[in-house]
Structure 1
Amino acid sequence: MTTPQSASTSPLPSAAIQVLWAKSGEKSAGVGWLPVLHHLLDVGACAWAILGREPQATRDLLTADFGTDTDTARRWTCALAALHDLGKASPAFQHKAPELAARVWAVLPEQDYSKNTPHGMVTQKLLPDLLTRTGRDWPERVARGVAGAIGCHHGQRESSSDYRAPDRGAGPQWDRVQEELLTLVLRGFDLEHAPPPPITDWTGEAFMRLAGLTSFADWVGSSFEMTANPDPLAYSNPAAYVQQAGERASMALDAIGWTVREPLVPQPRPLDETFAFLPDFKARPLQTLLAEVLSASDSRPALVLVEAPMGEGKTEAAFYSHLQLQNAAGHRGLYVALPTQATGNAMYTRLREFLGQQITARAEPVTVDLQLLHGGAALHSGYQANLSATVQMNAQTRARPTDEQKHKIRPNLPGEPGDSVHAGEWFSHRKRALLSEYGVGTVDQALLGVLNVNHQFVRLWGLGNRVVVLDEVHAYDTYTTQLIQTLCRWLRALKSSVIIMSATLPAQTRRELLSAWNVMPDTAPTYPRLTVARTGDAAPISHHIPGPRRRLALNLKATDPAPEAMAAQAVALAHAGGTVTVIVNTVQRAQDILRVVREMLGKRYRSIRRGSSHPQRVNVHLYHARYPADERSEREKRVLRHLGQQPAHYEQDGQERTDDQRPERFILIATQVAEQSLDFDTDVMISDLAPIDLLLQRAGRLHRHDKNNGRRGAHEQPVLYVAGLGNWPEQPLDDYHWKYIYAPALMYRTWHALGGRTQITLPDDLDDLVQGVYDPASPPLDGLSDTQRNTLAKADRKLQHQRQQHGTLGDQAHIGTPDNLLDLPHQPSWGEPDGEPTNDDTDPSKGEMRFGTRLGDESFRIVPVHRHEGAIYLNIKDRIPAQILKLGKGDWDSARTIYARSFQVSRYDVIDHFRRNPPRRGTAHEGWGAHPLLRDAMPLVLDDGEATLGRTHLRLDPELGLTYERLE
Structure 2
Amino acid sequence: MTETVQTPWAKLDRDEDDRVTAALPLVDHCLDVGTVFEIVLAAWRRPLEVAAGRPLTPLDIARLTVLVALHDLGKANRGFQARIDPKQPRIGHTGQVVALLEGPIRRTPAGRMLNGLIDDWGAYPHFAAVMAHHGRPLEEFSEDAMAPEDPWRRHVDHWKAGADGDPTAHVLTLIDAVRARWPLAWEEGPPLPEAHRFVALFAGLVTLADWLGSDTRRFPVEGPHGAARDAMRLAEAQQAAAARGFLPLPTPFGDFAAALEYPPHGFQTDAAADLGPVALIEAETGSGKTEAALWRWLELRRRGEVDGLFFALPTRSAAVQLHKRVNDMLRRVWGEDAPEAVLAVPGYLRSGDATGQALPGYAVRWDRGEPGEEDARWAAERANRFLAARVAVGTIDQALLGTLPVKHALFRAGVLSRSLLVVDEVHASDAYMIGLLERLLDHHVAVGGRALLLSATLGAAARARLLKTPAPSLEAATGLPYPALSGRGHDLRPAAGAARAGKRVRIEIAGIIDDADAVAARAVAAARNGAKVLVVRNSVAGAIAVAQAVAARAPDLAFAVNGVATLHHGRFAPDDRKLLDAAVEEAFGKERAPGGQVLVGTQTLEQSLDIDADLLLTDLAPMDVLLQRIGRLHRHGRDDRGAFADARVVVLRPAERDLRPLLDRTRGRHGLGPVYRDFRQLEATLRLLEETPDLVIPRDNRRLVEGATHDEALAVVTRDWGTAGQNHTASRSSAVASDRNTAEVVALDLSKRFTELRWNPGGEEAMTRLGARDVLVDLDPPLRGPFGLPVDRIAIPGWMRIAPGAEVERIDDRRFRIDGRRFAYGPWGLQAGS
Q: Fold conserved (TM > 0.5)?
A: yes
- Corresponding position of 2:32: 42
SS in 2 for 1:329: coil
SS in 1 for 2:343: strand
CA contact (8 A) 1:559 1:723 kept: yes
Matches within 5 A, 1:909-924: 909=800, 911-912=801-802, 917-919=806-808
Q: Does 2:784 correspond to 1:875?
A: yes
Q: Cα distance 1:740–1:262, how it changes in 2: closer, same or farther (>3 A)?
A: same
Matches within 5 A, 1:524-543: 525-533=480-488, 539-543=489-493
1:226 is aligned, of 221, 227, 244, to: 221
SS in 1 for 2:197: helix
SS in 2 for 1:311: coil
CA drift at 1:141: 10
Matches within 5 A, 1:759-778: 759-778=694-713
CA contact (8 A) 1:122 1:167 kept: no
1:540-579 C-alpha deviation (Å, 9 max, x unpaired)? 3432213452311211221022323323333444455423
Q: Structure 1: where are the runs of 5+ without partners?
A: 1-15, 102-113, 235-240, 295-300, 398-406, 408-420, 534-538, 613-618, 649-660, 832-849, 866-871, 881-896, 920-939
CA contact (8 A) 2:120 2:191 kept: no
Matches within 5 A, 1:121-200: 121-124=95-98, 126=100, 136=116, 139=119, 142-160=122-140, 161=147, 163-164=152-153, 166-167=156-157, 169-170=159-160, 178-179=171-172, 181-191=174-184, 193-199=186-192
1:715 is aligned, of 644, 654, 658, to: 644
- Corresponding position of 1:438: 391
1:553 is aligned, of 493, 501, 504, to: 504
CA contact (8 A) 1:452 1:829 kept: no
Q: Which amino acid aligns with 1:490?
A: H
Separation in 2 of the partners of 1:22 and 1:820? 30
- Corresponding position of 1:591: 544
- Corresponding position of 2:143: none
- Corresponding position of 2:270: 289
Deviates more, 1:136-145 or 1:578-587: 136-145
1:116-152 C-alpha deviation (Å, 9 max, x unpaired)? 6531123355369679979957559943201111101
CA drift at 1:586: 1.4
Q: Which amino acid aligns with 1:753?
A: L
1:858 is aligned, of 767, 773, 779, to: 773
Q: Does 2:300 correspond to 1:347?
A: no
SS in 1 for 2:691: coil
Separation in 2 of the partners of 1:821 and 1:495? 19
CA drift at 1:230: 4.0
CA drift at 1:115: 5.8
1:371 is aligned, of 336, 342, 346, to: 342
Separation in 1 of the partners of 2:786 and 2:323? 33
Deviates more, 1:167-176 or 1:88-97: 167-176
1:247 is aligned, of 235, 238, 245, to: 235
CA drift at 1:779: 6.2
- Corresponding position of 1:10: none
CA drift at 1:379: 8.1
- Corresponding position of 1:904: 795
1:415-472 C-alpha deviation (Å, 9 max, x unpaired)? xxxxxx9951465223323222111111111112122222222212221122111111
SS in 1 for 2:641: coil
Q: Cα distance 1:120–1:427, how it changes in 2: closer, same or farther (>3 A)?
A: farther
CA drift at 1:513: 1.6
1:720-768 C-alpha deviation (Å, 9 max, x unpaired)? 2211177123456624452111113332332233333222221122122
SS in 1 for 2:668: helix
Matches within 5 A, 1:797-836: 797-819=730-752, 821-828=754-761, 830-831=763-764
Q: Cα distance 1:29–1:789, how it changes in 2: closer, same or farther (>3 A)?
A: farther
SS in 1 for 2:509: strand
Q: Cα distance 1:196–1:676, how it changes in 2: closer, same or farther (>3 A)?
A: same
Separation in 2 of the partners of 1:791 and 1:170? 71
Matches within 5 A, 1:8-23: 19-23=7-11
Deviates more, 1:621-630 or 1:347-356: 621-630
1:578 is aligned, of 508, 527, 531, to: 531
Q: Cα distance 1:242–1:78, how it changes in 2: closer, same or farther (>3 A)?
A: farther
CA drift at 1:390: 8.4
CA drift at 1:287: 0.3
Q: Which amino acid aligns with 1:776?
A: D
CA contact (8 A) 2:341 2:352 kept: no
1:171-211 C-alpha deviation (Å, 9 max, x unpaired)? 79666654453344233212364125335x62232223322
Q: Cα distance 1:918–1:141, how it changes in 2: closer, same or farther (>3 A)?
A: farther
Q: Cα distance 1:251–1:781, how it changes in 2: closer, same or farther (>3 A)?
A: closer
Q: Which amino acid aligns with 1:368?
A: P
1:224-252 C-alpha deviation (Å, 9 max, x unpaired)? 22358842x49xxxxxx766632342344
Q: Structure 2: where are the runs of 5+ without partners?
A: 141-146
Q: Cα distance 1:220–1:492, how it changes in 2: closer, same or farther (>3 A)?
A: same
CA contact (8 A) 1:390 1:424 kept: no
- Corresponding position of 2:144: none
Q: Cα distance 1:89–1:372, how it changes in 2: closer, same or farther (>3 A)?
A: same
SS in 2 for 1:31: strand
- Corresponding position of 2:415: 462
1:624 is aligned, of 566, 569, 572, to: 569
Q: Which amino acid aligns with 1:313?
A: G
Q: Does 2:406 correspond to 1:453?
A: yes
CA contact (8 A) 2:816 2:822 kept: yes
Separation in 2 of the partners of 1:743 and 1:498? 30
CA contact (8 A) 2:50 2:448 kept: no
Q: Which amino acid aligns with 1:286?
A: F
1:348-397 C-alpha deviation (Å, 9 max, x unpaired)? 1111000011012xxxx534243211123148994416999984777745
- Corresponding position of 2:675: 741
SS in 1 for 2:684: helix
CA contact (8 A) 2:342 2:380 kept: yes
TM-score (norm. length: structure 1): 0.73
- Corresponding position of 1:841: none
- Corresponding position of 2:290: 315
Q: Which amino acid aligns with 1:683?
A: D
- Corresponding position of 1:4: none
Q: Cα distance 1:24–1:347, how it changes in 2: closer, same or farther (>3 A)?
A: same
SS in 2 for 1:809: helix
CA drift at 1:643: 2.5
Separation in 2 of the partners of 1:195 and 1:917? 59
CA drift at 1:491: 1.1
Q: Which amino acid aligns with 1:858?
A: R
Separation in 2 of the partners of 1:581 and 1:303? 35
Separation in 2 of the partners of 1:856 and 1:178? 47
CA contact (8 A) 1:154 1:215 kept: yes
SS in 1 for 2:322: helix
Separation in 2 of the partners of 1:183 and 1:611? 65
CA RMSD of aligned residues (A): 4.0
Q: Which amino acid aligns with 2:339?
A: V
2:21 is aligned, of 31, 40, 45, to: 31
- Identity of paired residues, percent? 24
1:312-339 C-alpha deviation (Å, 9 max, x unpaired)? 2111111111111112134222111111
Separation in 1 of the partners of 2:588 and 2:167? 72
CA contact (8 A) 1:334 1:466 kept: yes
Bigger relative contact order (CA 8 A; separation at least 6): 2
- Corresponding position of 1:941: 810
Q: Does 2:627 correspond to 1:696?
A: yes
CA contact (8 A) 2:269 2:295 kept: no
2:518 is aligned, of 538, 553, 565, to: 565
Q: Does 2:333 correspond to 1:358?
A: yes
Q: Cα distance 1:56–1:66, how it changes in 2: closer, same or farther (>3 A)?
A: closer
CA drift at 1:817: 2.8
1:590-632 C-alpha deviation (Å, 9 max, x unpaired)? 222234445555xx855444999xxxxxx98633333444444
Separation in 2 of the partners of 1:497 and 1:80? 29
Deviates more, 1:553-562 or 1:76-85: 553-562
- Corresponding position of 1:273: 258
Separation in 1 of the partners of 2:432 and 2:376? 33
Q: Cα distance 1:346–1:185, how it changes in 2: closer, same or farther (>3 A)?
A: same
CA contact (8 A) 2:121 2:190 kept: no
